[in-house]
A and B are shown apart, each in its own frame.
Chain A
């Protein structure tokens, strides 16, 4: 049972480049989330999804887009990366109102 898998684990981008982070879960969870973690800031919610085909904005959605075409996958896209998007990105999944299971994170640097 793999749980929540994030790819890639590390990435370096130049300003203006685009990329997609993939999150996959094998627990049949309805809810999926994307967070970013910055030093001294804790985790901040970027976007989340309450089911296949649905997405919603979190606390810091600007500069990011998401898609949930399949229940097990949640994609986070950066269309034009900026240095302010240098961060560690975490994906999580859960059942409604329950605990969240996290991936190992993606470390992104935007130069």
Chain B
């Protein structure tokens, strides 16, 4: 069963705008990760946030985690056409032996 549920399912923005994607999950987690998938390619890890962290930055990426609400958000600032891809959140559930449970993904389109 899918643990992470991303929102929205699809997002279309203009280059230079910020993109915010949300993920909700159901059970206790060790960490939450975000991955990107370009069309026809494998997934690439973007950022990992542990359950005891509330915010993390990596370049133009900002991730927040609210364990009380069981939710996370991924913010991409100053988006570029090259950011066009599908984005997945994945949860490392407590006691799940390092298995990740992926959401269905968000399709981001950045218009030049």
Interface on A for B, CB 8 Å cutoff? 4, 31, 33, 35, 40-45, 48, 50, 56, 58-59, 90, 92, 94, 96-105
Contacts and interface: CB of A to CB of B under 8 A. Distances in A.
26 contacts: A40-B104, A42-B2, A42-B88, A42-B103, A42-B105, A43-B43, A43-B102, A44-B102, A45-B100, A50-B97, A50-B98, A56-B97, A59-B1, A94-B98, A96-B98, A97-B30, A97-B31, A97-B92, A97-B98, A98-B48, A98-B98, A99-B45, A100-B43, A103-B42, A105-B41, A105-B42
Closest 6 CB pairs of A and B: A102-B42, A42-B104, A43-B102, A99-B45, A102-B43, A42-B102
Contact of B45 (A35, A48, A100): A100
A11 to B, nearest CB: 16
Contacts of A105: 40-42
B78 interface: no
Contacts, number: 55
A90 B88 CA distance: 15
Nearest to B5: A42
B44 A48 contact: no
Given A100-B45, A102-B43, A105-B41, 20 more contacts: A33-B100, A40-B104, A42-B2, A42-B102, A42-B103, A42-B105, A43-B88, A44-B102, A45-B100, A45-B101, A50-B98, A56-B97, A59-B1, A90-B42, A94-B98, A96-B98, A100-B33, A100-B100, A101-B45, A105-B40
